[in-house]
A and B are shown apart, each in its own frame.
Chain A
Amino acid sequence: DAKTTQPPSMDCAEGRAANLPCNHSTISGNEYVYWYRQIHSQGPQYIIHGLKNNETNEMASLIITEDRKSSTLILPHATLRDTAVYYCIVRFRNSGNTPLVFGKGTRLSVIA
């Protein structure tokens, strides 16, 4: 899997948008960008994924640059419950499934 680079930590004020960046400059054409988060003492939780188009769901938005070398996860209105470690993962999809390989992620602290 391509390596990703994320800032180790970020703060965000409650109610504001949290923008979490991820660099994946060596991503290949058939690799997807996945985001998971891990709230303290829980298992990781899927947030969103995309290939090259921007994606939005009930949890977040994913913005992927045109050259696909970086992406941003956006939590539009962060709450205290969004405090977690956020993992950006680049994952190859072929005829079979490939496991998720986790890096160190970004520790997001949402502050009241």
Chain B
Amino acid sequence: DAGVIQSPRHEVTEMGQEVTLRCKPISGHDYLFWYRQTMMRGLELLIYFNNNVPIDDSGMPEDRFSAKMPNASFSTLKIQPSEPRDSAVYFCASTSWGAMNTEAFFGQGTRLTVV
């Protein structure tokens, strides 16, 4: 498996524009997590899904942020409208529930810059 795949790797956008980040989890994994990382706040959990259903979105900072998982192999994180303070690295991770295997695999991240 190629691991968790995120796209794009880098995104530069102007304030007010819509931004969509994409994630393809590892095949067979039933949990998907979105994290955001900044120097000030570190790694923060935004939202996570189980079997394509959002379980906890309490980490989503504002209504400008939304996430979907239309099927088991694809998820999006959308910011509309984007603001400079949204600049961060966004990571997607996936895992499967099992007695022995609870290791989470992370993608390489999307570095978002809002100017």
- Using an 8 Å CB-CB cutoff, how does the interface string of A13-44 with B read, 1 for contact, 0 for none? 00000000000000000000000101001111
A7 CB to closest chain B CB (Å) equals 16
Q: Are B108 and A100 in contact (CB under 8 A)?
A: no
Q: Are A99 and B45 in contact (CB under 8 A)?
A: yes
Q: Which of B11-19, B63-71, B80-88, B90-98 contacts A (4 or more CB under 8 A)?
A: B90-98
Residue on B nearest A44 in the bound complex, by CB: B106
17 additional A-B pairs beyond A42-B108, A43-B93, beta carbons within 8 Å, are A38-B43, A41-B109, A43-B91, A43-B106, A43-B107, A43-B108, A44-B104, A45-B106, A46-B103, A96-B97, A97-B95, A99-B33, A100-B93, A100-B104, A102-B42, A102-B43, A103-B42
Q: Which of A37-90 contact B (CB under 8 A)?
A: 38, 41-46, 49, 87
Q: Does B74 contact A (CB under 8 A)?
A: no
A49 CB to closest chain B CB (Å) equals 7
Return chain B residues, CB-CB under 8 Å to A100: 33, 45, 93, 104
Number of A-B contacts (CB under 8 A): 49
Residue on B nearest A93 in the bound complex, by CB: B102
Return chain A residues, CB-CB under 8 Å to B4: 43
Distance A101 CA – B48 CA, assembled complex (angstroms) = 12
CB-contact partner of A44 in B31, B43, B97, under 8 A: B43
B103 CB to closest chain A CB (Å) equals 4
Return chain A residues, CB-CB under 8 Å to B35: 102
- Using an 8 Å CB-CB cutoff, how does the interface string of B101-115 with A read, 1 for contact, 0 for none? 011111111000000
Distance A66 CA – B21 CA, assembled complex (angstroms) = 44
Q: Which 6 A-B pairs have the closest CB atoms?
A: A43-B106, A102-B43, A46-B103, A97-B97, A44-B106, A97-B31
Given A96-B50, A102-B42, A104-B42: A46 touches B31 (CB 8 Å cut-off): no
Task: Please list 21 pairs of residues, one from A and one from B, whose beta carbons are closer than 8 Å in the complex, sorted by A's number.
Answer: A42-B109, A43-B4, A43-B109, A44-B43, A44-B93, A44-B104, A44-B106, A45-B106, A46-B103, A46-B104, A49-B102, A49-B103, A87-B43, A91-B102, A93-B102, A96-B97, A97-B95, A97-B97, A97-B102, A100-B45, A102-B35
